[in-house]
Structure 1
């Protein structure tokens, strides 16, 4: 089942933990120094859930579609 991933860029602190855990889904904007969803449906479900759980400010939301 596909997962829809959203990331609240205003809440993001730029720690990059999501990128380290799931680089096929999350990217980093050097200008804003924030993470963003790079490729919505390009990652296994486990890495997406791990990235959401590792976020220290809980700004990643994962929904089943």
Structure 2
């Protein structure tokens, strides 16, 4: 995940990242780094997650809740 975020953050054109449960199997430090990377990413990010605490710490402009 760290390598993917590094590569994506250094692209010259903004793109779309689709992250499906990106915080699974991460320790707390890595999860915080991921949150920071997502929040600082200049492109569009679509995050699918069941972890409400993780999602709450993201800078989100639109949310779609399914099956609630």
Relative to its length, the structure with more helix (as a share) is 2
Instruction: Please give the TM-score of this superposition, normalised by the length of structure 1.
Output: 0.32
**Structure with greater strand percent:** 1
Whose Rg is larger? 2
TM-score by length of 2: 0.31
